[in-house]
Structure 1
Amino acid sequence: MTYDPSKDGAETDFRQRMSYGDYLQIDHILSAQKPLSKAHDEMLFIIQHQTSELWMKLALYEVEAARRMIASDNTAEALKMLARVARIFEQLNSAWDVLRTMTPSEYTRFRDDLGQSSGFQSWQYRLIEYAVGNRNLAMLKPHEHRPDLLEKLEAELARPSLYDEVLRRLARLGLPVPAAVLERDLRQGWTMNEDVMAVWATVYRDPSRYWEAYEMAEKLVDFEDYFRRWRFNHVTTVERVIGFKRGTGGTAGIDYLNRMLEVELFPELWRVRTEL
């Protein structure tokens, strides 16, 4: 028999009610895809990057909340949020599989229409890096034409990163985080610190004693694990589609992306494993 949802009690008249599409602003979202060419695959390219930006918006929302919780010593809540960030980057990783269905010949049909726009200009991606601790001041330049975006990025640089807040929490737990680390210039990028690695070694050698610190460490490693995979998948997708051509934004393309693979967000948490 033909199913009639109204006979099951479902609402079907939305002339005076908020519908699913109203709540989610679907009309605005679905009208935001405006290809500049007649190439069939440009729609894939646009939606891939728009949905990635939506996931990054959620990642920023969760990172900000986790950082706030850690700063107020509500670590248990922060751990749930950090676990969600890792899953978000798992979703972002899966999206590359769809984009890789586009071949080099298909991409060349609309690549010139992109002009100088490039993914490395994503201010949300940059804000994620700044928020977790990878603070490269040279990356402010692509956003200087937008005072509103520059203000967001500068405001982030003035705050302790997620990693800074974790280290401050370790100090409040009684672990010997050096004062120079706790009082460092927040605008500067994080560099490997042997004293911090020694603190993490203490935690990892006795997890039951330092369980809260141990859980925070593993959640950070989970996040960076998926973040690294996302970067690696970016590299392989770009190489598969454009080879070793320069990027649309003027970067060295694959060479630039490969250099990004070498950046470590939480270097002590990876290197401490060799010391155990």
Structure 2
Amino acid sequence: MTQAEADTQALLTVENVTMRFGGLVAVDSVNFHVNPGEIVGLIGPNGAGKTTFFNCLTGLYLPTTGRVVFDGAVLPPKPRKVVKAGMARTFQNIRLFGNMTALENVMVGRYCRTSSGAFTSIIRGPKFRREERETRARAQELLDFVGLSTVTDHLARNLSYGDQRRLEIARALATEPKLVLLDEPTAGMNPQETRQAEQLIFKIRDSGLAVVVIEHDMRFIFNLCDRVLCLVQGKALIEGTPAEVQSDPRVIEAYIGTGPAEEPAAATTGPDPTGGRTAPEPTGRPAPDEGDRHA
């Protein structure tokens, strides 16, 4: 598929996005696209610019250069308008309302799709009550969808770590998105929770949404994604199928680096620097330093 063909059918198209902070280039001329119903992984070592790139997509940052096109329209750098356009995200650090119930947290996400004005909400008019019922019902559906049907009335702060992660995803889904961006959704999870997260993301994709995932768990990413983009120092190193990316030596080098150059082997010819003498055996006592010699 050519880049032009990809851009034509893409739900999200990123064109030469660069983000500078003074003299630091955090994202450097990155091109990227996501097709409807696709799961795309975004990987790279720490400091590669992955979360900064997400922030450029979702309106938290205004890119220094380049543009983000979503569903055929250029996205404005305003998070609320990005959400209303159909893009939702979760964050690397959990950002729930701890003193609200699980149901209330999801309802908060749904309010961007309601239209009751301030006056109607204050007097709790018929329109407000109808939308509140619909929002509550939809929030419960999403809790059921992510596997949290039994914790509806529990405070978010009292949920397990894995359940809090799933609650964040439910809140993102409440915005009725077409594309969901997940920033390290399995960070800190045990293997069982990671498998549950993988199954949930497949379930989200099967419901018709596209998903972009930042993750450091390579096994998780390569099992999950249709395509993977690797960022290194803000630049796109390689984009391709999981098999292509994980076999690329540049990706391996970016993650584990290169070892020190081998030291040259000891010379086997020439004069013996010891004059043929054998080095003395260690005595078990350290050699005296200069202060000991003059003591």
Give the TM-score taking structure 1 as reference length: 0.25
In terms of fraction of residues, the more helix-rich structure is 1
Give the TM-score taking structure 2 as reference length: 0.23
Between structure 1 and structure 2, the one with the greater Rg is: 2
